[in-house]
Amino acid sequence: MPDDRCPRRIAFRPVVAEVEPGAIKKREAASMANSPDAWVEDARNLDNAEQLLNSARGILLETPAIGDFLRNETNKRIVVAPKGYGKTFLLKSKRILLQRNSENLSCLPDNQLVDATISDSPSLSQADLQRFVDYAFWCQIWSAALMVSVVKSSAKFHPLDPADFRSPVMRQLLLSSYPVSPFDALKRLINSDREFQQARRSHDLTTLMSYYRQIRRPVAVFVDTIDEYFEGYVDNGGSHEADASYLHRNKDSRIWIVGQLGICRAIRELLGVNPHIKIFVSIRKEAFNNLDYYDRNAVNISSLVVQLHYSGEDLSRIFDKNIEAMQRDDLAQPREAMPIARFIGASNAMIVNPITKKSEVFYDFVLRHSLYRPRDLMLIGGKISQIPAGLRTQERLRAAVDQAAGEIVWHYLAEMRGLTEVPDRSLFGLIPSNVLDRSALKRIAETYVARLKEKGLDASIGHPFCALYRLGLLGVVRRNREQKDIQVFRRPHEIEHDGSKPTLPAERHYLIHPALDDIVAQASSDYIRAFHTRNVIGHGNRWREGKIFKCAAKGDLSRYSRVLSDPVVGEHFTRYLV
């Protein structure tokens, strides 16, 4: 078993507040208020600084990359990861820690921990579309928006002279009585290209940079959910009503990419203008993968980046930490030493698969049904916690994990649609087993394409299993350096930028991801009956072919030379002459 999946369990004690001895009720109330919440799927639900900091101590796993980002004097500014990796949690924790370590630090935005918005990006004309797919445009817009927000907030220490700014848009943003967040400034600046160009011609951007350069008090800016703001422009190729709406009739997925990359370039440039101002942002890995294509200075921008990913051991520890954060009444066996035994009961720490009849550690069972993202574990743990503590049987636990895994997959496919090819859900009803060979994939793909054409749907996306492989939902068996056959599934943070069609590697076996089992089983009645029973399917698991019997045969073969000269028959025949 690979090192990143070795079951090393560590117990963590939740953080609670100290109170006066004897004040039991007061102590219990304080404990509940200051203890981290368990199974929080979205860090946007945590805006109370004290609550979030306790959750960070109790739940946030400090991997080397995360530890580097949280250091007070870190040079990292950009958190890069797919959805569900904890980007928002990390940005909020960074702000709280910086504020606690510096009395003079000003943080933006003023009214929340990070600047976040909804997907309310404007509708585009064809002319707007050409402007919005331009990487240089977003570099300029983000640079201006960030400077406006910082200069406006610093006006009480560095007063502005209204006569220095001539364009109406700059005067409106900088001289207003209300605070202006980076997103506020961005939305105002992109609203009218004419007004933005007027600000450039009047040299207001040069004046703005001069004010920005003169700021000497430390300022930290935190911007999140940039990907969600641009979601409306992602062209998923669908024909749903929402896709056909007037608001985003003109779409281009490149906007989603360059809109995020633009702020990365802006941060790099502004860092050289004023080192007293630190700008922290989060962007999606799927967008960052394109940086080399758009920017010649990608290597310099990359030096500011921290990329999040987690090993199996990291994720198991995150699972343990969330168990530690649970209330005692929600645990199956609170007196047990191991966190997992407290959560689901000692007898369930090893779980038996009713089909394969194989036992495995419950942590491994959970990880196999996830995409190796912290958010997946939060969803799975939350489903299990909904089972009454005394009723957590293996059957109910398996059902909870299967249900959560199905939700994980549907959410994941929705997130990736438009960013990479995503097959139609009708594919799942054609899959007969969780282990397939190449001929089976070809046969299923042909049937799939034919059925799409019958329904009048687009069947030009190519091989559906290429898409599943690229998404990490179809695995393969590969031999490692130790000459052992290992199951391999791509994980979300490993999906690289590839402008060409994803290709399916030539392997002996193709494996359906366990997270798809429940979805496929509901669509195909034969799936469970044809389930592979020799190996437990999961990333990093060993693959064993089973017993192989060899024997020797002696005799003559009629027309031996003709058989060997045949390009197809000869190749296969000689395999057995060893």
For position 494, what pLDDT does the model report? 86
φ, ψ dihedrals at 360, nearest 5°: -150, 160
Nearest to 46 by CA among 367, 72, 57: 57
In this predicted structure, the answer to whether residue 555 has a pLDDT above a threshold of 70 is no
For position 38, what pLDDT does the model report? 84
For position 475, what pLDDT does the model report? 97
Supply 93's token pair. Answer: 């924790």
Mean pLDDT value across residues 106-133: 90
In this predicted structure, the answer to whether residue 571 has a pLDDT above a threshold of 90 is no
Query: For 230, which DSSP code?
Result: T
Q: State the pLDDT confidence band at 19, using cuts at 50, 70 and 90.
A: very low
Mean pLDDT value across residues 66-70: 93
Q: State the pLDDT confidence band at 365, using cuts at 50, 70 and 90.
A: very high
In this predicted structure, the answer to whether residue 246 has a pLDDT above a threshold of 80 is no
User: How far lies 375's CA from each of 88, 90, 318, 380, 404, in Å?
Assistant: 12, 13, 10, 9, 11
Mean pLDDT value across residues 246-261: 82
Query: For 560, which DSSP code?
Result: H
Looking at residue 185, its amino acid is A
Mean pLDDT lowest for which of 91-100, 466-475, 556-565? 556-565
If DSSP codes are grouped into helix, strand and coil, which group holds residue 18?
A: coil
Find the helix or strand (DSSP H, E) in which 81 lies.
Answer: strand 78-81
Mean pLDDT value across residues 119-128: 84
Q: State the pLDDT confidence band at 123, using cuts at 50, 70 and 90.
A: confident
Mean pLDDT lowest for which of 118-132, 332-346, 437-451, 561-575? 561-575
Sign, CA torsion 119/122/126/127: negative
Mean pLDDT value across residues 11-20: 37
Find the helix or strand (DSSP H, E) in which 279 lies.
Answer: strand 277-284
For position 28, what pLDDT does the model report? 43
Query: For 123, which DSSP code?
Result: P
The structure tokens 């052992």 sit at: 484
In this predicted structure, the answer to whether residue 399 has a pLDDT above a threshold of 80 is yes
Nearest to 361 by CA among 322, 320, 308: 320
For position 152, what pLDDT does the model report? 97
If DSSP codes are grouped into helix, strand and coil, which group holds residue 29?
A: helix
Mean pLDDT lowest for which of 84-88, 128-132, 333-337, 495-499? 495-499
pLDDT tens-digit readout, 431-445:
999 999 999 999 999
In this predicted structure, the answer to whether residue 526 has a pLDDT above a threshold of 70 is yes
Mean pLDDT lowest for which of 37-51, 388-402, 429-443, 529-543? 37-51
Q: State the pLDDT confidence band at 528, using cuts at 50, 70 and 90.
A: confident
Q: State the pLDDT confidence band at 565, using cuts at 50, 70 and 90.
A: low
Nearest to 326 by CA among 32, 62, 48, 26: 32
In this predicted structure, the answer to whether residue 156 has a pLDDT above a threshold of 70 is yes
Q: State the pLDDT confidence band at 319, using cuts at 50, 70 and 90.
A: very high
Q: CA-to-CA distance for 557 and 552, rounded, in angstroms?
A: 15
Mean pLDDT lowest for which of 76-80, 394-398, 418-422, 558-562? 558-562
Q: CA-to-CA distance for 239 and 223, rounded, in angstroms?
A: 33
For position 8, what pLDDT does the model report? 41
Mean pLDDT lowest for which of 55-69, 175-189, 276-290? 55-69
Q: CA-to-CA distance for 395 and 345, rounded, in angstroms?
A: 13
Mean pLDDT lowest for which of 398-402, 414-418, 437-441? 414-418
Q: State the pLDDT confidence band at 40, using cuts at 50, 70 and 90.
A: confident
Nearest to 15 by CA among 1, 29, 2, 32: 32
- pTM for this model (two decimals): 0.85
For position 499, what pLDDT does the model report? 52
| Residue 362: Cβ within 10 Å count | 23
Is 86 in contact with 315 (CB distance < 8 Å)?
Answer: no
In this predicted structure, the answer to whether residue 573 has a pLDDT above a threshold of 60 is no
Mean pLDDT lowest for which of 59-63, 117-121, 285-289, 308-312? 59-63
For position 238, what pLDDT does the model report? 55
User: How far lies 66's CA from each of 90, 93, 320, 385, 435, in Å?
Assistant: 8, 11, 18, 28, 37
For position 56, what pLDDT does the model report? 57
For position 556, what pLDDT does the model report? 58
* Helix segments in 202-311, DSSP class H: 204-214, 226-229, 253-273, 285-288, 291-294, 298-302
Q: CA-to-CA distance for 219 and 418, rounded, in angstroms?
A: 37
Question: Average pLDDT, whole number, for the chain?
Answer: 86
